[in-house]
Amino acid sequence: MPTFDLKHSPLRELNRTLYALRPDTNETHWTVTGPDGRHAIAAGLDAPISVEIEGNVGYYCAGMNKHASVLINGNAGVGVAENMMSGFVHVRGDASQAAGATAHGGMLVIDGNAGARCGISMKGVDILVKGSIGHMSAFMAQAGTLTVLGNAGEALGDSLYEARLYVRGSVKSLGSDCIEKEMRDEHREQLFAKLQAGGLAGEIDPSEFKRYGSARRLYHFNVDNAGAY
């Protein structure tokens, strides 16, 4: 289990080393100490390894992740797991703005709160936030799920496409073209699976959530809806 101390070694060396790992590597578990809020830690991973970071990280930690599991024992700055393709990213603290932005796949779990624009333009990722999220979250979200155990800020799901939003708490306001939708059995089953994947199986009742999705009025321009554009 290799350990990399960023207080004594440059971040560029860490990322170069991790990026060079082959899928069949025997060095599958890495520990990173002394992150001290540095940006782009463990970005661009492309192997089925696990990386545990001991402390707070800056911008774009685990960005563009493929296959890897990244555990952050602290808080994360802007854009954690941005453009993630696959794998698993777990923040054991709070996350700043744009968590999981544009991510195509994999799962992002945030134990605390997430700031504004959580899941902006998400394209297939599953995001689970155990706290609350800020304003404009899931803006232009295209696919995937955003599950929030706490509350959501203003303009949730503005200009939403086909992502599914599950919120257990209150929603300050909904964005353009986002509406509350019926929770059918298929949605409760999907939600249960996401809670299970996030380590909450049996702890949270899916019936406590409301589902939000697109009203599909903005797919094509219609002069009657001009005020919503």
**Model confidence at 9, in pLDDT bands (50, 70, 90)?**
very high
Res. 19: pLDDT tops 60 = yes
What's the pLDDT at 201? 78
Record: fold of 3-228: Pectate Lyase C-like (2.160.20)
Q: Residue 67 in contact with residue 88, Cβ under 8 Å?
A: no
Contacts for 218-222 with beta carbons within 8 Å, 24 or more apart? 218/159, 218/176, 218/177
Neighbours of 25 (CB within 10 A): 12
Q: What is the pLDDT of residues 47-67, one digit of tens each?
A: 999 999 999 999 999 999 999
Q: How many CA atoms lie within 13 A of 191 on its CB side?
A: 27
Q: Residue 99 in contact with residue 79, Cβ under 8 Å?
A: yes
The rounded Cα 216 to chain-centroid distance in angstroms is 24
- The closest alpha carbon to 74, from 32, 132, 134, belongs to 32
Q: Residue 180 in contact with residue 212, Cβ under 8 Å?
A: yes
What's the pLDDT at 228? 60
- Look up residue 43 and give its amino acid: A
Residue 95 CA to residue 14 CA, distance in Å, equals 22
Domain boundaries, the chain: 3-228
Tokens coding 76: 């994360």
Q: How many CA atoms lie within 13 A of 36 on its CB side?
A: 8
What's the pLDDT at 1? 82
Q: What is the pLDDT of residues 196-212, one digit of tens each?
A: 999 997 889 999 999 99
What's the pLDDT at 120? 98
Q: What is the pLDDT of residues 212-224, one digit of tens each?
A: 999 998 766 666 6
Tokens coding 164: 């599914």
Q: What is the pLDDT of residues 151-191, one digit of tens each?
A: 999 999 999 999 999 999 999 999 999 999 999 999 999 99
